[in-house]
Structure 1
Amino acid sequence: MFICLIADYGTGDPAFTEVTQRLLQSLPQAQIHPLSVPPFNTLSTGFWIAQLGLNPGPAERLIYHNCAPRQDDPDARQDNEGEGLTYALLPNGVKVVGVNAGYTLSFIKNHAKVLQTVNVSRGGSQFRSRDVFPPAAAAIAQEDFSVLGEPLNPAQLPDAPLDRIAWVDGYGNIKTTIPNYSINLEPQTKVVIRIGDVVSDAIYSDGSFKVPEGTLAFSPGSSGWSSSDGKPTRWMELFLRGGSAWRRFGKPRLNERVTRLTG
């Protein structure tokens, strides 16, 4: 069993080790790979759930995610209660278990063959992903579906916004939630992009390296997946060959709006 643990604990945070220990109690042969997203960032959480879950990988896969801002109710919490746990089954057999918060399910909601609540406590600990949720996740990983509850209606889950920064990779490339099919331009067309207060010229390219050194490209990136009918989606990236697009735009935060002013 290959388990991808996606959470907002923080890069290198011992919380990843604590949760890993709990999962290995029930799944001692599992290989667990952590992926850290920024605090409370459900957009990047949902993006990576889809990117990792809908693309090829080991046959026995579980994505266990926890990014729970506890923003579903602004009132004071009783017993550390937060958003509820859910289960999704993707078309390729990948199981996804985690908190339904913000956009965590937005990228997979229309792909999932099964989408249900999980009958576990919504409270009981400040650290529910360690103290409350692992036994249910392990049961589902082992095909024990007795913990499942009511079906979820995809129409009642939020759509992913199609104009935001989803991720910034280690090279400073900006991965957006702008789908490539929404762009109808000829290669080498000049465009103007705005992020926050920074505006920059860019060149639309159908391949990032088809631009000269030092040129900002706006092109289909390396992230994306196919729908159940085989239709591919790739997400647009801003790529500065020989530099960092993220620095060019003043180091914007994830979730910031990306606006195409011309082109």
Structure 2
Amino acid sequence: MLLQKGKNWSYRQINKISSYSLHVQVIADYGGGHTTDHAFAEVRNHFFRFDKSNKLREVTEHPVYAFSTLETGFWIAQEGLHSEHKDLVIFSNTAPRGDISWRGDERQSFVCGILDSGIPVFAVNAGYNLSFIKNRLKGLWEVKVPNEGTQFRSRDFYPEAVMDILYGNLDRIGTPVNFKKIPEVPEFAVASIDGYGNLKTTIKKSYLSDAVLKSKIIRVTVNGYAHFALNTLIEGVKGRIYDLCLVQGSSGGKQSNYLEIVRLMARACDDFRVDGPRDDLPPIKIETVKI
């Protein structure tokens, strides 16, 4: 079915979706600090409530840091683009509130899109939620769903709308979203903190100066705190237990991984007093060391 400006929602028709096959991954900040929360269970229950023909196999949870659209967008991209999981459906709701500094669409509308990997994404258009995938989307539209009237849109409104669209009710799909209004990914940011305290960044090796790339010892500043680190991007440079290191990371795609800042067998996030990848953290600095 053609939509406005000739773009079309190209997900599989409902009769092409096998029973008990779809996997909805919920990427959201309900738990506040990388923890689970009862809200995930409520959202999961409502997805199954509106699955009239048993197309869902499972609904799983991926907690992110409170109000962090950076971490939300990072994982939407990592899972949607690099999972190679054809039955995956991404559902997300991270919406900044209060005094949190953020960028993007102030209305924080709920949108749907199709990645060039074929994976459908349903998310709130706020901050950096869509920044990591904006150049990999085949289309992006607002979803016709109430955005007010409840404190818990992810439970009360969004699951029904998502299942309607997956079941082929394209009347739920509204106007196209202007990609140009989605912020670019900030290049020197903390994108995520894993369970080991490693800082996953948005830095790619190509962003670093030649001087830094040739320096075995570098100065890394995060959140206003500076520490010396080993540059293990240089062949032959290897850290020992408890060394702080700049390393090639495991996220971002096989050909263009993001860098990580790690303390071997310890928690790098504690060195920089970072409890989560806040959208308003100052940019990371990586500099050469003059002795």
Q: TM-score scaled by structure 2? A: 0.79
Instruction: Give yes or no for the alignment of 1:30 onto 2:54.
Output: no
Instruction: Map 1:211-226 onto structure 2 (within 5 A).
Output: 211-225=239-253
**2:218–2:229: 8 Å Cα contact kept in structure 1?**
yes
**1:70–1:82: 8 Å Cα contact kept in structure 2?**
no
SS of equivalent residue, structure 2 residue 186: coil
Instruction: Give yes or no for the alignment of 1:118 onto 2:146.
Output: no
Indicate which of 63, 79, 82 corresponds to 1:55. 82
Letter in 2 for 1:6: I
SS of equivalent residue, structure 1 residue 33: strand
Paired residues, what number? 249
1:198–1:141: structure 2 CA closer, same or farther, 3 Å change rule?
same
Letter in 2 for 1:16: F
Deviates more, 1:59-68 or 1:116-125: 116-125
Letter in 1 for 2:273: G
> Quick one: distance in 2 between partners of 1:82 and 1:182?
33
Indicate which of 235, 247, 260 corresponds to 1:237. 260
The answer to which structure has the higher helix fraction is: 2
The answer to which structure has the higher strand fraction is: 1
1:19 counterpart residue number: 43
Q: CA deviation at 1:252?
A: 4.6
Q: CA deviation at 1:241?
A: 1.5
User: Structure 1, residues 142-195: CA drift from partner, whole Å, max 9, x if none?
Assistant: 344331111112111111211111111111111111123213454662210011
SS of equivalent residue, structure 1 residue 54: helix
**1:43–1:103: 8 Å Cα contact kept in structure 2?**
yes
- RMSD of aligned alpha carbons: 2.3
1:130–1:122: structure 2 CA closer, same or farther, 3 Å change rule?
same
Q: CA deviation at 1:207?
A: 8.4
Q: TM-score scaled by structure 1? A: 0.87
Indicate which of 212, 228, 246 corresponds to 1:201. 228
Letter in 2 for 1:171: Y
Q: CA deviation at 1:18?
A: 0.6
Instruction: Give yes or no for the alignment of 1:2 onto 2:27.
Output: no
Structure 1 unaligned spans of 5+: 72-80, 227-231
Instruction: Give yes or no for the alignment of 1:85 onto 2:110.
Output: yes
